[in-house]
Structure formats: structure tokens, C-alpha cells
Amino acid sequence: MSTPRAASTTGKASPRDRLLDAGAHLFYRDGVSIGVEALCRAAGVSKRSMYQLFGSKDEVLAASLERRLPGYEARLVVPDPRDAAAPRERILHVFERLAQAAAEPGYRGCPYLAALVELKDPGHEASRVAQGAKERLGEWFRAQAEHGGAADPVRLARQLMPVFDGAAARSGARLDTLSDGLAAATAATLLDAAGVR
């Protein structure tokens, strides 16, 4: 969700961390097809050093997506003043956080869905990381839905995920804005229909 910045060039980060930070920034901004040269230049790391640390650019991509995950999840489901809220509010809060993130300059949608769309290869090591990120959010929705008394928690989670991913992708592509609460309102309608009140 957040827009990662390139690693600081003050030099305290290790070459590995600089590669992962620069990778997270460039893959998100420009796509997974950016070249090794551009990646190493942004990280201030030689190609030789990169290949000593990682087997390939694909490995940097997978590792950078994995490294972002805790921050991504914390941003979506971080406790707010409604920490003790009911599952319904917790689910809606995710869609509100999405709208907040989407309003930031440089927002380009969910980095995990983007990686999957760009790689077009479910077996790619970075696709595996992205699938895991998506499964974790879906499972979180399912658990909240179950806790909230949904008639069919699995199905409700499967309905919420496309709303999340579609809203994120469309907002990232500047096809629509989420600033008026559109995604949360859609989620609320689905929660109503599933009996999560």
C-alpha cells in the first residue's frame, strides 16, 4: 500500500538492504521489467555485488515484495481508535485505509496484484510471494467475517477481495478515485447482504 522510497544514500544501509529498498521503489513505480543496471544504479551497488547477494533480479523482486509485506499489512489493519471494534468495522477500516493510501502521490495500486499481473506466471518466485500476501488478506477477511457472524465467511471473503483488488488497481491506474468512500460503501453492501452487522 505504501509508496516505498529509494534507500537513503547516506550509506548506513547494507548493500542487500539498499538493493531491496531500491527494488521495492523501482518495481512498484516502473514495473517488474526494469533492468538490472537501473536497479543497481539506484541502489548504489555494483552488478557483481548484486549477483553475489542474489541469484537473479527475480530473486531481488521476490525478496523485496516479501520484505514489504509486514509494513503493507500493518498499514491496512493497524489498530485505530476503534481497535476493539466489531469485525464489521475492522473490515470496513481496511477499505478506508486503502482509500487513504490511494490518495497519496505515487500510488499505483497493490504491489502484489501488480506483480502478478505483470509477471503473468503463477509459478514465478515473486508470484508466490504475491499469492501469499493475497491469501493472507483473504484469510483475514474470512476470519473477521466468521467472527462477525457471516452466513458464509469464505464466500464473503472471496467477494471482498475483488472489490479490494479492483478498487486498488483502478485507483492506481487513475480510472477512478476512492476518496468518496466508494470501496468501503461497496464492502458495506456486501457485509449487509452476508449478515455481518
- Check residue 83 and report its DSSP letter: T
Residues that contact a second copy, how many (by CB under 8 A) = 41
Phi, psi values for residue 188, rounded to 5°: -60, -40
- Report the C-alpha gap between 190 and 195 in whole angstroms: 9
Per CB under 8 A, does 104 bind a second copy?
A: no
60, HSE (Cβ side, Cα atoms, 13 Å): 33
Residue ranges in 126-165 that form contacts with a second copy under rule CB under 8 A: 127, 131, 134, 155, 158-159, 161-165
One character per residue 44-83, x = contact with a second copy (rule: CB under 8 A): ----------------------------------------
Per CB under 8 A, does 33 bind a second copy?
A: yes
Per CB under 8 A, does 183 bind a second copy?
A: yes
- Check residue 7 and report its DSSP letter: P
Considering only 24-32, 42-50, 65-73, 77-85, which stretch makes contact with a second copy by CB under 8 A? 24-32
Per CB under 8 A, does 125 bind a second copy?
A: no
What are the residues whose beta carbons fall under 8 Å from the beta carbon of 166, sequence distance 6 or more? none
- Report the C-alpha gap between 53 and 175 in whole angstroms: 39
- Report the C-alpha gap between 157 and 146 in whole angstroms: 10
Q: Which residues bind a second copy (CB under 8 A)?
A: 29-31, 33, 108-109, 113-114, 116-118, 120, 122, 127, 131, 134, 155, 158-159, 161-167, 169-170, 172-176, 182-183, 185-186, 189-190, 192-193
